[in-house]
Amino acid sequence: MGEHMKLKDVLRQYDKQSLYFYARDLGIQAANKIAMEELYEKMVETILLHHHIENRLSILDDETYRVFMQVFRDEEVREEDNLRLERLLDYDLIAFEGEELFVVEEVKNIFLRCQNDSFFQQQRLQKVWLLQCQQVLTHYWGECSIEQFCKVLLLKDCFVEDVDIQALLQQLPVGEVQIAIKENQVYWRSLLNSSMLKEYRKSQKRFEYYLPTVEEIEMLYEYDYDIQQEGIQRLRTILLLKELEEKDVDQLLHEVWNDLSYGLDYEGIYARCLEKTGLTSAELPLSFMKDIDKNCRKFIYRGHTYLETINRTIGHMDHVEY
C-alpha cells in the first residue's frame, strides 16, 4: 500500500480528538455525530475542494521544499532536516507507513500540477517571506506602521513597492497568521489587547526600529529564537555536556530567550533554569544569565539589545538604567 498512501489513510492515523478538531477547522459541523468512514470521506472532499493542499505547498520555504522533493524522489533525508520533516508531516503532505516515508497520493498529483506553474512559485516565495517577516513583529517590535513593515518585506526582491499585505494574509492558512492589521498599524496578534503593549509603547518611543538581516529573519522562523547569540550557544554547550536530551535543551533555550526578550526578570529565569536542569550555581553562574540578558534583543528596545542602547549604536535616546 505504501506507494499509494492516500489522504484517507493519513486521517486514519489521527486520534479521535485531533480528528474532530481538524474536522471543525475544515468547517464540518458536529463531526462526532458522523460515522467514521463517512467523516474521512467528507474531510478528504473538503480538503481537496478548498485547495488546502495547494495552500500548504505554497507556504513551504525553500529548505522544506527541498526536503519534500527528497521524499518525493525517495531519497535519504538527513537528520538535521528533522524540523522540516515534522512540518511536512504536520501539513499531511507526507506520511509514514511503518518506517518508510511517502508523499501522500493526492498531494503528488497536485504537486506535479503546481511545480512548473510560475504564478504558483512566485506566490510561494511571497507567502513564505511574509510568514518569515512576521517574526520581526513577534520577536522584536510588537507593532509598527504598514510602511515600516514593508521595509522588511522589501529586503527580498519577491516583493515590489505596493504590497497588499491584507490580501496576502487572507491566503495564508489561518493557523500560520500571527499578525493583524488595524488602522494602518501592523500588530503581533497576541499583543493586540494586552497590557504588555502599553508597557512596550512607553519605552519604545526612544528607539529606532532594529532592522534584522534576511538570514536573521529566516533563522527566527525556523528556530523561534536567536540560536546564534554567543551566550545562548555557550549555555547550549553546558546543557548538552550535562547529558540532557537535545530536544529538551532547545526547548529550554527557546523559553529562556523568549522570556528575556519579553522583558521578564533574568534572575527568575535563571532560577527556573537551574531547577529544570539540575545544574548548580557553580556550573552555571548567575553572571552568565545576566550576560545573555544584556545581549538579548528586546521588545522594550524595539529589537535592540541593552548593550546596543548604552553603546549608543542606535537612534537618539537617554541612558537606560540596568
Q: Which amino acid is at 154?
A: L
Tell me the CATH number for domain 122-212: 1.10.10
End-to-end CA distance of the chain: 63
Query: Contact 279/242 with Cβ under 8 angstroms?
Result: yes
Kindly give the interhelix angle for 286-294 and 230-241, rounded to the nearest 10 degrees.
Answer: 150
Q: What percent of the chain has pLDDT over 90?
A: 75
Taking the C-alpha atoms of residue 211 and residue 208, their distance in angstroms, rounded to an integer, is 9
Least confident range of 81-90, 96-105, 194-203, 309-318: 309-318
Neighbours of 8 (CB within 10 A): 15
pLDDT of residue 315: 52
Q: At 96, phi and psi to the nearest 5?
A: -90, 140
Confidence of residue 321 (pLDDT cuts 50, 70, 90): low
Give the tens place of pLDDT for each residue, 5-29. 999 999 999 999 999 999 998 999 9
Domain range annotation of the chain: 2-115, 122-212, 227-296
Give the tens place of pLDDT for each residue, 239-272. 999 888 888 999 999 999 999 999 999 999 999 9
For cell 494586552, the residue is 194
Tell me the CATH number for domain 2-115: 1.10.10
Assess whether the region 2-115 and the region 122-212 belong to the same CATH fold: yes
